[in-house]
Amino acid sequence: MAVISAFMQDAPELLRPLSVDAAYDRSHTAALADTDVGPVGLEIETHLVGLEDVAARVSWPRVEEMTGILTAIPLQSKVTVEPGGQLELSCPPAPDIVTATRSLLEETREVRLTLEQLGLGVAYVGADPLRRPERVNPRPRYRAMEQHFRATGVGGAGAVMMNSTAALQVNLEAGPRRRWAERVAHAHRIGPTMLAIAANSPWLSGQPTGWKSARQRAWGTLDARICGPIPGCGAGAPGATDPAEAWARYAMRAPVTFVQGRGDDVQAVSRSVSFEDWARGDVRLGDRVPTACDLDTHLTTLFPPVRLRGYLELRYLDVTAPWWWPAIAAVVTTLMDDPVAADAAAEATERTAPLWTEAARDGLGNHLLAQSAARCLAVAAQRAQAEYCSAIADLADLVESGRCPGDLLAQRIAQIGPEAAFEELANA
């Protein structure tokens, strides 16, 4: 993807004190790049499972052994491990969605075969339906985030978000500057409908949640200043709204999660302090003023459903089984990048654009979301590349029945229980 080069500076420059105006300008510059539409990047998270005991978290020494082996495989995708041991594969930008999904499917199969030899599996589900949230990754950043969430009163939701959720992320180019406002608004507009279609996390920690997407519920429970939609960028925002300006305001007003100290020392911020307050000098964190390096780190702790990183990160999709996620990724990309499909989707989702909570809780049980989902899939089926016709048709059949992937999981759990169902997922 087109990544902004504003951060390509010498180390001394990154460590100089940063004023409010300079921080705003840096955030604004980093938001979006003037590009053509076309390239696609995909990131997929899965829950790492020990096949000999699916109810236990995989220990960190075992995770380290696994990552060492995976890094020796000539993968194009970047391999990372999330706080709860979730395994993430991030494929490099591809020229189109067909190439991106084909590449990531091949690499996830290769990774799965390697993990089987280590007695490990991965579960494609939006929230861990069996195990309680528990951090296994000792990275100081994650420890500090955990401490910040506890200190600010959202420790439970923070633990779920960090340790028990897994998403499919679709990364798309920002497009030409003249279209930024509408393109970013459209990414938000289709969000609730696509969330309802992809919802795949009805259980959490061994219990039914009553929500179709417990993953999105966790994100929605956290501070909206770091996890909510970017004010001014959603559907219905004034046409003249500059999303880069909206992102810069969002970044400046968002609370700082932690401060980098010397070496590996990371200090959690135990109260709500905006980056703007820190840069203005109203508060001193880490007994100092912020630098450009601090701002760059701060931007990585912001998790709106559509994040601006020079390109668009669409972060609102539960991960689903390989049977479903390529079609879901293709639908999202088509509704965003194909002008005819985008216009039709804008009309179809006009009434559902604000229904984030309803999408996560009720999914396709909400009649407005069911209608918009059916219309969007019909449009995508006509406009997507031929390779996806069959997969999108299968997804449309599921939606027509009023179900999402999570409903199939809930049905299976009702039949054999959460542990047996989780074991099936890990061995699939």
| Interatomic CA distance for residues 192 and 243, integer angstroms | 19
pTM tops 0.85, yes or no: yes
Residue 48, beta-bridge partner list? 122
Q: What is the mean pLDDT of each run of 10 residues along the chain (428 residues)?
A: 58 80 97 97 98 97 96 93 98 96 96 97 98 97 97 97 98 97 97 98 97 97 95 68 95 97 89 97 93 96 97 98 97 98 98 97 98 98 92 96 98 98 95
Buried b / exposed e along 137-161 (16+ C-beta atoms within 10 A): beebbbbbbbbbbeebebeebbbbb
Q: What pLDDT was estimated at residue 267?
A: 96
Q: What pLDDT was estimated at residue 416?
A: 98
Q: What pLDDT was estimated at residue 236?
A: 63
- Going from N- to C-terminal start, the domains of the chain cover 11-427
Q: Tell me: the pLDDT tens digits for 228-249?
A: 999 998 766 545 579 999 999 9
CA dihedral over 237, 231, 305, 369, signed as positive or negative:
negative
| Interatomic CA distance for residues 67 and 352, integer angstroms | 41
| Interatomic CA distance for residues 254 and 252, integer angstroms | 6
Residue 305 is classified by DSSP as: S
User: What DSSP letter does each residue of 164-210 carry, written as one string?
Assistant: HB-EEEEEE----GGGHHHHHHHHHHTHHHHHHHH--B-EETTEE-S
Contact by Cβ (8 Å): 243, 180:
yes
Q: What pLDDT was estimated at residue 428?
A: 86
Q: What pLDDT was estimated at residue 45?
A: 98
Residue 122, beta-bridge partner list? 48
What are the angstrom distances between the C-alpha of 409 and each of 126, 166, 360? 11, 15, 16
Domain 11-427 has CATH 3.30.590.20: yes
